[in-house]
Structure 1
Amino acid sequence: MSLAWLSNGFYRACEWIMTLAYLNFLWAVFTLAGGIVFGLFPATIAMYGYIRMLLQKKSPPPLFSYFWKTWKQAFVRGNLLFAIFAGAGCIIGLNLLTMQQLEGPLHTISLVGTTIASILFVIAFVYIFPVYVHYDLSLKASIYVAVFLPFSHPLTLIISVAGFLAIALLFFILPPMLPFFAASCTAFVIMTGSMFAFRGVRTVNGS
């Protein structure tokens, strides 16, 4: 019995490793297919969507066909989302530049406001993809949920931070693995933490 369990566990681990490597490869290919700028968000949405299905223990469709279909479907909305984040990032960057010319209370107020905006920007960017693939929401609502997700469910943030540290340590020890697993492993960690929050919402809602 123990040997069978070990054999099955080893097989599942190898299956996950191969899937994450292939996901990372497709993410890179489809990002490049969109000229990087226009391919990044649709490819990332497709990657998160597939990982979500795996975590839900659903029988996923063939990976390439799913990725291609989802990439096309998410191309317009994904790039609108990219435009929103690019615009917000530019505004924060301009604030950082103009803030250097301010003095006294105005500098302090600008510093505090820009710092808060930067933190919320990073949080929204990290969790927007899990929210996008899990809920059928408008882009505005998706960003709102992404910002408040780790605050309403601290376990999500704890899992994400712990996962990031584990991944950083792994890549520090084995740097050749970085180009093969960086994107997919990061998405796996963030999606795993987010699923705990989504299950909590479903439990509270009684659905």
Structure 2
Amino acid sequence: MKAQTFVNRVYNLLSILYICAKLNILFLLGTLLGGIIFGLGPSLIASHELAKDYYQGKGNQTIAKFVRVYRQEFKRANSIFLPFELIVVLLLLDIRFINDLNWTQYSIVNNLFLSISILLMSYFTLIAPIYIFYEVDTKRYHRTLIQFAIRNLAPLLLAIIWIGFCVVVSFSLPGLIPFYSFGTWIFVNQGIYLQTFERNERLINGSD
């Protein structure tokens, strides 16, 4: 019995490593295919959709589904992601400008940019999971996301810690980036929020 349990655990671990590697490759290919700027949004949506399928036991035909979701959601995903990408670019330009002025020696400036970076990271972790779980009108999408974040601080904090951990490990071991960094982050990130979404749905249905 113990040997069988051990084998099952090894099999499950290898399965997770396999799906993370597949998610990583598909995400990178999809992002590059869209010229990075226009590929990031649909690629992130499609890869989170595949991670959701895995958790729900529907992980068949992953490549075909990735391509289908990527194409179907290309326009809408970009309408949601492009404003976020613009804000990130402006933040990076501001950081470079502040650095050239040597203002980074002031702690208040560092704390300000650190706070903005954390807010953007938290926002980034939520965009794709909410997109594929809920039917939200594009015009109300960002407002809905903010409302959800305020009401669900625990999973949001966990997701921020997880993406921060992935960033640190990836910079420490850059060899992981082409094979596992993005896929592992997507897989766990989707798991964190999927559990929260399903719990909230059960609570709503129970109250009815």
Query: Residues 141-186 of structure 1: CA distance to partner in whole angstroms, max 9, x if unpaired?
Result: 3322322333312220242244335535654665422321111111
For structure 1, the residue ranges without an aligned partner over 5 or more in a row are: 98-107
Higher relative contact order (CA 8 A, sep 6+): 2
1:20 matches 2:20: yes
CA contact (8 A) 1:156 1:193 kept: yes
Q: Distance in 2 between matches of 1:165 and 1:92?
A: 18
Q: Distance in 2 between matches of 1:176 and 1:122?
A: 23
Which consecutive aligned stretches of 4+ in structure 1 deviate over 6 angstroms post-superposition? 90-97, 113-118
Aligned to 1:163: 162
Aligned to 1:148: 147
Instruction: Write the letter of the residue equivalent to 1:203.
Output: R
Aligned to 1:53: 53
Q: Aligned to 1:3, what secondary structure does the other structure show?
A: helix
CA contact (8 A) 1:123 1:147 kept: no
Query: Residues 44-72 of structure 1: CA distance to partner in whole angstroms, max 9, x if unpaired?
Result: 110011111112x2222311101111110
What is the TM-score of this pair, normalised by structure 2? 0.77
> RMSD in angstroms over aligned alpha carbons?
3.3
Q: Aligned to 1:206, what secondary structure does the other structure show?
A: helix
Q: Percent identity?
A: 23
CA contact (8 A) 1:159 1:189 kept: no
Query: Residues 126-153 of structure 1: CA distance to partner in whole angstroms, max 9, x if unpaired?
Result: 2111100111111233322322333312
What is the TM-score of this pair, normalised by structure 1? 0.78
Q: Aligned to 2:136, what secondary structure does the other structure show?
A: coil
For structure 2, the residue ranges without an aligned partner over 5 or more in a row are: 98-107
Q: Distance in 2 between matches of 1:122 and 1:165?
A: 8
Measured after TM superposition, the shift of residue 199 of structure 1 is 2.2
Aligned residues: 197
Aligned to 1:32: 32
Query: Residues 57-92 of structure 1: CA distance to partner in whole angstroms, max 9, x if unpaired?
Result: 222231110111111001111111123224445676
Aligned to 1:2: 2
Q: Distance in 2 between matches of 1:122 and 1:162?
A: 10
Q: Distance in 1 between matches of 2:86 and 2:175?
A: 34
Equivalence map 1:68-79=2 (5 Å): 68-79=67-78
Q: Distance in 2 between matches of 1:195 and 1:160?
A: 12
